[in-house]
Amino acid sequence: MGRRATIREVAELAGVSVATVSRVINGAAVAPETAARVGEAVAVLGYRPNGVGRSLKTASSRLIGVLIPSLANPVFAEAVDGIAEGVDGSGYSLLFGASDYRRDRERAGIEALLRYRVDGLVLTVADAAASEVLDLIEAVEVPYVLVYNPAGDHRRPTVTVDNRAAGRAVAERLIGLGHRRLGMIAGRLADSDRARARHAGFAAAAAEAGLPAPTLREVPFTAPGLEPVLAEIFAAPAPPTALFCSNDMLAIAAVAALGALGRAVPDDVSVVGFDGIAIGTLVHPSLATVVQPSRELGRTAAQQLLGRLSGEGAAASVILPHVLRHGKSVGPAAKHSPTASPASNLPAHSLVTRTSTP
Amino acid sequence: MGRRATIREVAELAGVSVATVSRVINGAAVAPETAARVGEAVAVLGYRPNGVGRSLKTASSRLIGVLIPSLANPVFAEAVDGIAEGVDGSGYSLLFGASDYRRDRERAGIEALLRYRVDGLVLTVADAAASEVLDLIEAVEVPYVLVYNPAGDHRRPTVTVDNRAAGRAVAERLIGLGHRRLGMIAGRLADSDRARARHAGFAAAAAEAGLPAPTLREVPFTAPGLEPVLAEIFAAPAPPTALFCSNDMLAIAAVAALGALGRAVPDDVSVVGFDGIAIGTLVHPSLATVVQPSRELGRTAAQQLLGRLSGEGAAASVILPHVLRHGKSVGPAAKHSPTASPASNLPAHSLVTRTSTP
DNA sequence: TTGAAAGCGCTAACAC
DNA sequence: GTGTTAGCGCTTTCAA
C-alpha cells in the first residue's frame, strides 16, 4: 500500500492548520477562500481522510457489523442486500461475518466484529432467547437488532415475521384441504428458534383440529441426502399426506427426494416451505410457502439500528407481514383418504392470504 | 456503547507496563508469571483489544474490502461466501459493499472501502480493461484481485473462467443440435466485460460455422419485463431458434417470458444460460447453462489476495474450469421450420445486430 | 524480561 | 475564522 497524504501535508500545502483542513473536510464553517485553497491541496495530493484516525479520535467506527448463518441461502443474501440498502447514504459501512449455522463460529464472528469496534450490529442468531453471543453483545453495550429471530419473552429487538402464526396458517390451510396426517421436517430445532416457532404454531393448529401430533424429523442443516430420512418417514404405517419444511431450501430438496422415491408432489404428498425465496416460483411444481419480505426485513433492521445509533431511543421489535403463497406443491388430501374421490385436479390456488400488520 | 477497558487499565491492574500487556496480547516473549497476571487482568476487566488503535499504529487494518454488483444474484452471493471461506482463520475481516451494477456506486463503494484503509480488495467491476475504479485502486496501490472479470490484455489479476471459450462452447453445442439462427440476450455489454467475452466467443463460433451473426439484444440489468423484448425478437422474419442468455437469472426470466408468449422451451426455442446457479437445476425445464465454480472462484480470489498480502509477490490470474450443463431447456432444431413465425407488425430493423465485440 | 516514550491521523476544546 | 494542542488505544524502538 502506497504512502498516503495526511491531513498535515494538506495543511502545509494549503498554508493553513490541520484544524482548518479538518473543518473543510467535515463541512464546518470556513472562509470560502480558505476552503478553496484546502480543496485544491486535497486534489493535488489525492488526499483521502483516514477513517482509522478519525475512528480512534471520535470513538465511533461508522461500521455496522452483520452476522448471518450463510450467504448460500438466498433468504440471508437478500436480507444482507436489504441491510446494505438500508444503510446506504448514512455514512456507515458493513463489516460482514458468516456463522455457518455454528454457535462457535457465531461467537468467533462476533469477537472479530467487536474488535473493530462496530457501532452496531444486525444479526441472526441460533436462538435469541438463550444466546451467549447476545449476552456478550449486551454486556459490551453495542446496539443491535436481530433479523428473522422470532420476537418473544427475551424482549430483544428483532425484525421478523410472526413465525408462529405463519406455522399455524400453514397447518390450517393443509387441514382445510383435507389433510389429517401432517409431518414436518426442519433443521435442528435446538439450533433454530425460527424453526421452533414455526413448528409450535404448526403443531398447535393440528392439536386444535383434533389431529395427532405432526411427525417431526430434524435434519442437519447441511444434510446431503434427504432421501433416507423421507424413506423412513413414509415407511411408517400411516405416513403424513402433507409435509411442512422449515425453510424453502429444505422443501425444494424434499420435493426432489420425494420424486426420487417415486412419490409425486402434490398428488401423493403435499409440500410447503418457508421463506419465499425466488426459486420457489420457478421450480416444478412451484413451491407453496410462507413468503417473508426478506429484503424489507433487512432494510428495516438497518433503519431501526440507524435510528438507535442517532439517539432515537431503544429499537423496538417489528413484525412485518408474511404471505402464504399457494404454489402447486400442495393439493387436496381427498385421494389419500379412505373415502375415495376423483378430485385430482383442483383449480389453481391463486389466492393470496395476508396477515394483519401490527 | 459502554466504556471499554483499555490496555492501560489492564496494565495498571496487572501492575505492569502497557508494553508488556501488548506483548502478552500479541504472543511476544514474556515471563510466564507476568503473562498469567496480565491474563487475569484481561479476564477481570473483560478487555478486548481495540483494533482501531492497533490499525492506526501498524498502518494495517486487517480488513479486506469486497465490492460486487449485488447479493440478489446468487452467483455473487456464492462468491462472497467463498471469499469469507477463503479469508477464514487469516485474521482478516470483510468490509462489504454493493455497486448495484452502477458505475457511480462502484466508485462510491470503493471510496468508502478505501477510507477504512482496507489492506486489499476482492471485487467484480463492470469492465476490467477500462475501469476508473481500478485505476484509482492502482494509484493508491492497494492490492486487489478481480473475480468473474475476464482475464485479458489489461493484465489485471483476476480469478475467473474462460468466458470466451465458454461462449464458444455454447454456440458449438447449439450448432451441433442443428440450430442455424442463434440469438443472444445480455445486460448492457458496455457495462459488462463478462457478457462481452461470452458474446465474442459465441459470435466467433457462429461465424466460423458460416452462420449469420447472432441476433443480439441488450436489456437493462434490472429490466422488469422481458416479454416485449422477446416479442420483438420473435417478430422478425427469421427469428432465432436458440437463445443464449448472458446469465442464468436472465435465462430463467426468458424461459418464463417465452412461456407467456406461447413459445415452448425447448420445443419452439432452446435457451442456454450462464453461471450455473443452483436454481437452474430445479426449474422446469431444467436450465442448460455454463457452470462456473462460484464458491471456489471467491475462495481462490481471497487466497490469491492473502498470498499477495503476506508478501508472496504479485497475484497471478487464475482460470478455473467451467462445465457445460446439459439441461432440458435445449433441444434439437430439427422441428423448427424457417418460416414458422407468428404474424406481427413490429419492424425487423429495430433489432440490434452485432458481429464483433469491442 | 520489562518499561518509558514517541507517535500513527485525526477531532475538538480552547484560545486568539 | 483560524490556530494550538491534547489526546483517542495501540505498537515499537530503545534503554535499562
Q: How far is B204 from chain A (nearest CA, A)?
A: 32
Please choose, from the candidates A163, A244, A171, A153, the residue with its C-alpha nearest in 3D space to the C-alpha of residue A210: A171
B81 closest CB neighbour out of A61, A98, A117: A98
Q: What is the CATH number of domain A59-155+295-319?
A: 3.40.50.2300
Judge whether residue B1 has pLDDT over 70: no
pLDDT of B340: 40
Q: Give the pLDDT confidence score for residue B335 in this predicted structure.
A: 54
* Interstrand relation of A288-291 and A323-325 (parallel, antiparallel or unpaired): antiparallel
Nucleotides of C under 7 A from a protein CB: 1-5, 7-13
Shortest Cα distance from B66 to chain A (angstroms)? Answer: 10
Amino acid at B21: V
Residues counted in chain B: 358
Report CA Rg, chain A.
26
**pLDDT-flagged residues of chain A (< 70):** 1-2, 221-224, 334-358
- What pLDDT score was predicted for residue B220? 80
Q: Is the pLDDT of residue B259 over 50?
A: yes
Does the beta-carbon distance from A98 to B77 stay under 8 Å?
no
pLDDT at A214: 97
Q: How far are the Cα atoms of A120, B113, B138, B190 from residue B134, in angstroms, in the given order?
A: 31, 13, 6, 16
Q: What is the pLDDT of residue A222?
A: 59
B157 confidence band (pLDDT: 50, 70, 90) = very high
The 8-class DSSP code of residue A283 comes to: B
Q: Is the CB of A50 under 7 A from strand D?
A: no
Taking a C-beta distance cutoff of 8 angstroms, is the pair B219, B183 a contact? no
Q: Tell me the fold of B163-293+322-355.
A: Rossmann fold (3.40.50)
Q: Which nucleotide is nearest to A18 (CA to C1')?
A: D3
User: Grid coordinates in use for B7?
Assistant: 490496555
Q: How confident is the model at residue B67 (pLDDT cuts 50, 70, 90)?
A: very high
Interchain CB distance below 8 Å, B94 and A93 = no
Nearest to A93 among B81, B116, B278 (CB): B116
Residues in A touching B139 (Cβ below 8 Å)? 46
Q: Give residue A209's pLDDT.
A: 97
Question: Strand pairing of B158-160 and B182-186?
Answer: unpaired
Q: What is the C-alpha to C-alpha distance for residues A134 and A150, in angstroms, rounded to an integer?
A: 14
In this predicted structure, the answer to whether residue B227 has a pLDDT above a threshold of 70 is yes
User: Given an 8 Å threshold on Cβ–Cβ distance, is B93 in contact with A112?
Assistant: yes
Average pLDDT estimate for B8-29: 94
- The nucleotide closest to A54 (CA, C1' atoms): C10
> Does the model's pTM come out above 0.95?
no
Contacts of A55 in chain B (CB under 8 A): 52
The total number of residues shown for chain A amounts to: 358
Whether B282 sits inside 8 A of A279 (CB atoms) is yes
Q: Considering only CA atoms, name the residue closest to the C1' of nucleotide D3.
A: A17
**A141/B95 CB distance under 8 A:** no
Nearest to A52 among B111, B117, B139 (CB): B117
Provide mean pLDDT across the span B15-32. Answer: 94
Residue in A263, A289, A270 with CA at minimum distance from that of residue A278: A289
State the pLDDT at residue B347: 34
- pLDDT digit string, tens, across residues B127-145: 999 999 999 999 999 999 9
Record: contact B282-A252, CB cut-off 8 A: yes
Inter-chain touch B50–A84, beta carbons under 8 Å = no
Q: Are A273 and A290 in contact (CB under 8 A)?
A: yes
- What is the identity of the amino acid at B76? F
Which pLDDT value is given to residue B337? 46
Evaluate if residue B355 carries a pLDDT over 50: no
SS3 A145: strand
Q: Is the CB of A33 under 7 A from strand D?
A: yes
Are A59-155+295-319 and A163-293+322-355 the same fold in CATH?
yes
Query: pLDDT digits over B71-106, tens only?
Result: 999 999 999 999 999 999 999 999 999 999 889 999
Contact between the CB of A20 and strand D at under 7 Å: yes
Q: Which nucleotide lies at the shortest CA–C1' distance from A10?
A: C9
Q: Is the pLDDT of residue B297 over 90?
A: yes
Q: Look at residue B333 in the predicted model and tell me its pLDDT.
A: 87
Rounded to an integer, the average pLDDT of B333-339 is 55
Mean pLDDT is lowest, of B35-39, B165-169, B335-339, B352-356, for B352-356
Measured from the CB, is A18 under 7 Å from any atom of strand D? yes
Q: How confident is the model at residue A353, as a pLDDT?
A: 37
pLDDT of residue B348: 31
Give me the CA B17–C1' C3 separation in Å, rounded: 6
Cell numbers 485479458: residue? B152
Residue spans of the domains in chain A: they are 7-51, 59-155+295-319, 163-293+322-355
Q: How far apart are CA A127 and CA A134, in angstroms?
A: 9
> Nearest residue to C8 (CA, C1')?
B57
Taking each helix axis from N to C end, the angle separating B74-87 and B294-309, rounded to the nearest 10 degrees, works out to 40
Which 3-state string (H, E, C) describes chain B? CCCCCCHHHHHHHHCCCHHHHHHHHCCCCCCHHHHHHHHHHHHHHCCCCCHHHHHHHHCCCCEEEEEECCCCCHHHHHHHHHHHHHHCCCCCEEEEEECCCCHHHHHHHHHHHHHCCCCEEEECCCCCCCCHHHHHHHHCCCCEEEECCCCCCCCCCEEECCHHHHHHHHHHHHHHCCCCCEEEEECCHHHCHHHHHHHHHHHHHHHHCCCCCCEEEECCCCCCCCHHHHHHHCCCCCCCCEEEECCHHHHHHHHHHHHHCCCCCCCCCEEEEEECCHHHHCECCCCEEEECCHHHHHHHHHHHHHHHHCCCCCCCCEECCCEEECCCCCCCCCCCCCCCCCCCCCCHHHCCECCCCC
